[in-house]
Amino acid sequence: MLVGALLGALLTRSLAVEALDSWGWRVPFLLGLVIGPVGLFIRRHLQETEAFVEARAAATVRQGFGTTLATHLREVLVCMGLTTSGTISFYVILLYMPTFARTQLHLPLDQAFIAQSIGLVCMIVLTPLSGALSDRIGRKPIIIAALSLYLALVYPLFNWVYDNPSFGSLMIVQIVLCCSLGVFLGPISTAGAEQFAARSRSTGLGIAYNLAVMIFGGFAQFFVTWLIEATGSPIAPSFYVMFGAAIGVVAAFFLVDRARDVRLPTLETVTPRTRAA
C-alpha cells in the first residue's frame, strides 16, 4: 500500500493529465504483477507451524465447510466480524480516501497520495508494536480499545476535514486513522488464528475472511456511493466505516483471548474448557 501510494504521488506529480490518462495509469498495474511471483516464492519456502505439521502427520479427518460451520459457528462469526471491520477500513480509509480527497475536498491527487503515505508509515511502525504488546496484555483489550477510539473519531475527523479542506488537515486525518488501524491490525491475525484448532484453522478462517471481504469489501465502493446519494452528505463514507467499527467492537467482546496460553490446541477442536481458559 505504501509503495502504491508513493508511486501514485510520483506519477500524478510528474506526468501531465493527458499522459496520465492515456498510459500513466497502467504503470502501477504493471509493477503490481510482481506480487504474483513474490507470493509464489513466499508460499513455496514458508515453513509450516509445529502445530500444523503434527496435525497433518496424525492424518485426522479433514473438516469441510459444513462441519466447520456446525462445530465452530461462534468462532467463524467472531472472525467474520473482526474481518468486516478491517476490510471496510482498508477499502475506505486506504483505497477510497484519495478519491474522496479529489472529488469532495477538491485537493490535488498528489497531495492525497502523500498524505496517505505519511499515514501508512505510522501504521507500519505501530502494527508490530501493537502485536508485541498484545503478547503481553492480551489481544482483546487492544482490539476493543483501538476500535472504540476509531469508532469515536471517524465521523468528527471526516466532518472536520470536509469543513477545512487542506493538505495539512487531510494528513492529520490520515495519521490519526492509520494509527488507530495499526493498533488494531497488530493482534488481529493472531487473534483470529487462535480461535481454531490446527485441523480446522484454514477452513474456519477462510470462510470468515472471504465472506467478509467479498460482501463488505468488494461492495465497499457501491455502498459508499449509495450512501452519498441516499443521504446527500459528502462525508457519508464515514457512516460505513463506523458501521464496520461497531461490528468489530461487538465481535471483539466474544473473542477468546489465548495470548497467554502456553500452546494452542492442535488436534482437538476447541472445547468449552479451553474456551473458558
Half-sphere exposure of 62 (CA within 13 A, CB side): 7
Q: What is the CATH number of the domain that holds 235?
A: 1.20.1250.20
The answer as to whether 134 is a domain residue is: yes
How many residues are listed for the chain in this entry?
A: 277
Question: Could you read off the pLDDT of 160-169 as tens digits, one per residue?
Answer: 999 999 999 9
- Structural domain count, the chain: 2
Indicate the pLDDT class of residue 257, thresholds 50, 70 and 90: confident
- What pLDDT score does 64 carry? 67
Is residue 21 domain-shared with residue 145, that is, in the same domain?
no
Q: Is the pLDDT of residue 77 over 60?
A: yes
Residue (of 274, 251, 199, 262) closest to 87 by Cα position: 251
Indicate the pLDDT class of residue 152, thresholds 50, 70 and 90: very high
The set of residues, in sequence order, having a beta carbon less than 8 Å from that of 269 and lying 6+ positions away, is 71, 72, 197, 199, 200
Question: Poorest-confidence range of 58-67, 143-152, 232-241?
Answer: 58-67
Question: Could you read off the pLDDT of 85-132 as tens digits, one per residue?
Answer: 999 999 998 888 988 999 889 999 899 999 999 999 999 999 999 999
Is residue 40 domain-shared with residue 66, that is, in the same domain?
no
- A 10 A CB-CB count for 137 gives 13
Type of residue found at 21: D
Report percent pLDDT > 70 for the chain. Answer: 90
Cα–Cα separations (whole angstroms), residue 121 to 46, 125, 171, 187 = 26, 6, 12, 18
Is residue 36 domain-shared with residue 67, that is, in the same domain?
no
- Residue 229 burial by CB count (10 A; 0-12/13-18/19+): exposed, middle or buried? exposed
Per the CB < 8 A criterion, the answer to whether 159 and 235 are in contact is yes
The answer as to whether 202 is a domain residue is: yes
Is residue 103 domain-shared with residue 231, that is, in the same domain?
yes
Structural domain containing residue 237:
62-276
Is residue 110 domain-shared with residue 134, that is, in the same domain?
yes
Is residue 186 domain-shared with residue 136, that is, in the same domain?
yes
Per DSSP, the three-state class of 103 is helix
Indicate the pLDDT class of residue 52, thresholds 50, 70 and 90: confident
* Rounded (to 5) percent helix, strand, coil in the chain: 80, 0, 20
Question: Could you read off the pLDDT of 15-27 as tens digits, one per residue?
Answer: 888 888 889 889 8
- What pLDDT score does 70 carry? 67
Is residue 147 domain-shared with residue 252, that is, in the same domain?
yes
Output the CA torsion sign for 89, 95, 101, 104. Answer: negative
Q: How far apart are the C-alpha atoms of 171 and 107, rounded to whole Å?
A: 12
